[in-house]
Amino acid sequence: MTVLFTMIRKEIQEHKLAFIYAPFIVALVLCAVIISVYLGLTDIQTTNFSFSTDVYDEKYKEGMLLASPEAKTAVIRAGLVVLGLPILLTVGFGLLAYSLSTFADERKDRSLIFWRSLPVSDLTTVMSKLVFIVVVIPLLVLPNLILLQLVASLSVSIYFVSNDIVPFGYVWTSYFISDWFRIIFSLWAQALWSLPIFYG
């Protein structure tokens, strides 16, 4: 067990840029954008995408008032899920790069000879990389998504309450935790998708 733990720690140390720093930086940038937009300091308008408090006009307010509680929750929830996509994309690229290069890089810089001079079986080596992909990476990424959702929910709640759109409680419902599990599942799906490349 110590051997596996040591090997996984090595994977984390080696790939901290892709799976710790990059998702965290993306999450921080997104948080900054969300706070700025809800404070009215900025807005994002492109031909395909718009992120601005301008959408919360009288028509939106009216729609939200008439909507059922489920519909209100669904609208907010959809927005929160979309916000997490840049992080998932960043990790997806990281996973792809990792799967493509994990053994090739070690062979290229000849460090594979050093790793193979230590008493670690080939099975343990492969196991450590699998556990890293399937368990560790989702666990490393999840706190960033939780941070993003909390910042977004708080911003939306304050904005909605102060503009009389919906009461505070609609944003803070139990779907949070179930969505975190969904996100883990989606990361597993990405990991499984990249496994054939890893073995190749």
Partner 1 sequence: MNKDIVVKAHGVKKNYDNSYALNGIDLEVTSGQILGFLGPNGAGKSTFLQSVLGLINTEGNLEVLGLDPRRDRHKLLKEVCSITDVAVLPKWMTVDQILQYVDGVHPGFDLQKCHSILSKTNIKRSSQVKILSRGMVVQLHLSIVMAINARLLVLDEPTLGLDLVYRKEFYSQLIEDYYDGEKTILISTHQVEEIEGVLSDAVFMNQGRIVMQDSIESINKKFLELRPNRDSLERAKSLRPIHQRVELGREVLLFEDTEQEKLSDLGEVRPPFIADLFMAIMDKTKNGDNA
Site residues (vs partner 1, CB under 8 A): 2-3, 5-7, 9-10, 13-14, 106, 109-111, 113-122
- The Cα–Cα gap between 188 and 32 comes to 28
Shortest approach of partner 1 to residue 145 CB, angstroms?
Answer: 27
Q: Kindly state the tokens that stand for 49.
A: 């995408």
- The Cα–Cα gap between 64 and 79 comes to 14
Q: Which is nearer to partner 1, 107 or 182 (CB)?
A: 107
Residues recorded for the chain: 200
Q: Which is nearer to partner 1, 119 or 196 (CB)?
A: 119
Shortest approach of partner 1 to residue 9 CB, angstroms?
Answer: 8
Shortest approach of partner 1 to residue 140 CB, angstroms?
Answer: 18
Q: Which is nearer to partner 1, 55 or 104 (CB)?
A: 104
Nearest CA to 16 out of 105, 115, 132 is that of 132
Shortest approach of partner 1 to residue 108 CB, angstroms?
Answer: 11
> With b meaning 16 or more CB within 10 Å and e meaning fewer, what string describes 58-74?
eeeeeebeeeeeeebbe
Q: Which is nearer to partner 1, 125 or 157 (CB)?
A: 125
Shortest approach of partner 1 to residue 21 CB, angstroms?
Answer: 14
Can you name the residues that pair with 44 across neighbouring β-strands? Answer: 51
Q: Kindly state the tokens that stand for 147.
A: 């941070």
Q: Which is nearer to partner 1, 13 or 46 (CB)?
A: 13
Nearest CA to 131 out of 27, 4, 21 is that of 4
